[in-house]
């Protein structure tokens, strides 16, 4: 077995370049009623490898190589827009993903009240 560490490292680097892009960090937009929502995601990647070769006695040959990688994806929040208003709803330990969706009805109600108030002021 030939150890091609530089080739392996090049492939890993190319993989990271292809995966760590805007589309990976900011998810696909979706609509929730009159709201347009864009998930914002934190992506982390790690890689490690090692190898060795050599034998203990004349005529013996030992080789070894190992590699490992990991990817972690975590939602950090949502960009929420309606008409010309944009806000960020954070996710986290205190505000988990379900808490964000629980806030959506309140957000809709507040925006509706603000719109009705503005319309009444114009009339």
Q: Which two tokens stand for residue 108?
A: 């809709």
- Structure confidence at residue 42 (pLDDT): 81
12: pLDDT strictly greater than 80: no
**How would you classify residue 118: left for phi > 0, otherwise alpha for psi between -120 and 50, otherwise beta?**
alpha
User: pLDDT by residue (tens digit) across 68-102?
Assistant: 777 787 888 888 888 888 888 888 655 455 666 66
Mean pLDDT of 98-122: 76
- The domain spans of the chain are 5-122
Is 4 in contact with 12 (CB distance < 8 Å)?
Answer: no
Instruction: Provide the residue count of the chain.
Output: 123
Torsion sign, CA atoms 80, 96, 72, 76: positive
- Structure confidence at residue 3 (pLDDT): 54
14-22 long-range Cβ contacts below 8 angstroms, 24+ apart: 16/45, 16/47, 19/43, 19/45, 19/71, 20/45
Mean pLDDT of 101-117: 77
Band of residue 1 on the pLDDT scale cut at 50, 70, 90: very low
CA-CA distance, 41 to 91, in Å (whole number)? Answer: 10
């Amino acid at each position: 077995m030939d150890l091609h560490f530089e080739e392996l490292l090049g492939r890993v680097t190319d993989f990271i370049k292809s995966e760590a892009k805007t589309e990976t960090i900011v998810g696909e937009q979706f609509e929730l009623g009159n709201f347009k929502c864009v998930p914002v995601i934190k992506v982390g990647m790690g890689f490690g490898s090692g190898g060795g070769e050599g034998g203990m006695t004349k005529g013996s040959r030992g080789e070894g190589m190992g590699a490992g990688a990991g990817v972690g994806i975590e939602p950090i929040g949502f960009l929420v827009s309606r008409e010309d208003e944009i806000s960020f709803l954070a996710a986290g330990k205190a505000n988990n993903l379900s808490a964000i969706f629980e806030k959506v009805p309140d957000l809709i109600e507040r925006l509706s009240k603000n719109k009705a108030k503005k319309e009444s002021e114009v009339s």
